[in-house]
Amino acid sequence: MLTLSGALAEMAWPAILSKRDTFREVFMDFNPVLVAKLNEKKFLAPGSPASSLLSEHRLRIIIENARELLKVIEEFGSFDSYCWSFVSNKPMVGSYRHTREVPLRTAKADAISQDLMRRGFLGVGPTVVYAFMQAVGMANDHLVTCYRFEECLDIKAAAAAATDGYGDSCKPAAVSEQEVSMLCGLVQCVALEPSRAATVISIS
């Protein structure tokens, strides 16, 4: 999902999602081990499947980030664990009524962006990071009128109940990152306006 969020520097969410299967094929099911070992000359060659998706600059960034991602996984066990540690393993909840109220970046996104860049990641400015947080359910920015808003609150409540007595450091297995992503990710929500999505760009 970080790869797709990073693509916002050149494409809007609707265009990215329409090519999601192509992204998955080109980047080998988003397997960082395989992406990190790509033959860049062949991968970036004019006319290659990858060259039809993004610029050479953006493609190089994805390959380099895959290499840095492996280091994070080695240190934290998973990229999920690393990311969720910044929000105490609980989704942040906004209570917005209008899309114009939804921020393009937050202090948490700034912190994650700075740490990622410190670790050698590229193209991970605060707005790209926040788009990633929204996409995977770390930030519930569904409008309060959106049918998914309450669903995400239910997941948050279930997570809080499951962690009673264990502390914030324990993210409940019963409410996995994948479940949060599936039910709370803004990229799956009809409330996300394409016009707003198109304005999200990297400022790294």
Per-residue pLDDT of 78-136, as tens digits, reads 998 999 999 998 888 888 888 888 888 899 999 999 999 999 999 999 999 998 888 88
* Higher per-residue confidence, 197 vs 27: 27
Q: State how far the Cα of 145 lies from the Cα of 102, in Å rounded to an integer.
A: 13
Answer positive or negative: Cα dihedral of 93, 173, 161, 83.
negative
- Give domain 2-197's CATH architecture: Orthogonal Bundle (1.10)
Domain spans of the chain, in order of start: 2-197
Q: State how far the Cα of 83 lies from the Cα of 78, in Å rounded to an integer.
A: 9
Per-residue pLDDT of 132-187, as tens digits, reads 888 888 888 888 888 778 877 776 555 554 444 433 333 434 444 444 444 445 44
Structure tokens at 67: 């290499």
Residue 148 pLDDT: 78
Q: Where are the alpha helices (DSSP H) in the chain?
A: 2-6, 13-18, 20-26, 32-36, 40-43, 56-76, 79-84, 107-118, 126-135, 147-162, 177-184, 194-197
Residue 156 pLDDT: 55
Residue 146 annotated as lining a ligand binding site: yes
Contact 112, 129 (CB under 8 A): yes
